[in-house]
Amino acid sequence: MGLVIEHVTKSFGEKEAKTQVLNDITFTAQKGELIVLNGASGSGKSTLLSIIGGLLGKSSGDISLDGLDYDQLSDKDLTEMRLNQIGFIFQSSHLIPYLNVTDQLTYVGQMAGMDKKDAKERATKLLTEIGLSHRLKSFPNSLSGGEKQRVAIMRAWMNEPKLILADEPTASLDSKRAIDVVKMIKDNVKENNSIGIMITHDERVFEYADKVIKLSDGKIEEKVS
């Protein structure tokens, strides 16, 4: 079924102070697809990503993930969905300074309900797959920017999410590392039959997307498949 977004709007404030941030956003994303959201600063990209991730409520419209309507979920159900079905990747890796690389992922697995042994085994497997087997016991302050972001990517896959949301994950990386990170995200989306939605200003990565959606002043200006 994938992700279905229909006529979503979002505004802040009331009456004279009311500001419309999103206006009639409609699109779908199928399993195995990586979709890029592009647009100028203030076009509504991050707001849309936050709504899709259940971090922010919409003003109107409908969103469903694999047939699960967000409007039918309680706050507790939304929290459970974020924890178990959605993975987040941000511009900054947001690694915990006092946890080594393996424990960064193990902690997330335990939060999602895995026992410590299974979580550690999955963490080791994911980190090895992404080429960090030599860094399993390393702490964030000893990692390069690219290594930190690779850890953050694998952390997002610890709970085997249906949906990966990435907000400018390559902004702090050089050109080669940026392309490598996008390839990793795309490959994992395909291999896990999940859905990836990524905000980026970097047009060099557009070729790796299945669809590019450009926002302008809160509206979809263009869709390119």
pLDDT in tens, 106-121: 999 998 889 999 999 9
Helices (runs of H) and strands (runs of E) counted in the chain: 6, 10
Share of the chain above pLDDT 70, in %: 100
pLDDT at 17 (0 to 100): 76
CA dihedral 67, 86, 72, 54 (to 10 degrees): -130
Q: How far does CA 183 lie from the centroid of its chain?
A: 14
- Residues 136, 116, 126, 152: is their CA dihedral positive or negative? negative
Average pLDDT, integer, range 35-51: 92
Banded pLDDT at 208 (limits 50, 70, 90): very high
**Structural contact between residues 204 and 175, judged by C-beta atoms closer than 8 angstroms:** yes
Quote the CA–CA distance of 6 and 111 in Å, as a whole number.
32
Question: Both tokens of residue 9?
Answer: 């709007």
pLDDT at 69 (0 to 100): 92
Quote the CA–CA distance of 5 and 35 in Å, as a whole number.
13
Running DSSP on this structure, what letter comes out for residue 24?
E
Query: Tens digits of per-residue pLDDT, 81-101?
Result: 888 899 998 877 889 999 999
pLDDT at 140 (0 to 100): 94
Query: Tens digits of per-residue pLDDT, 148-178?
Result: 988 998 899 898 899 999 998 887 777 777 8
Question: Both tokens of residue 45?
Answer: 């990209």
Quote the CA–CA distance of 164 and 136 in Å, as a whole number.
23
pLDDT at 204 (0 to 100): 84
Average pLDDT, the chain: 90
CATH code of the domain occupying 3-224? 3.40.50.300
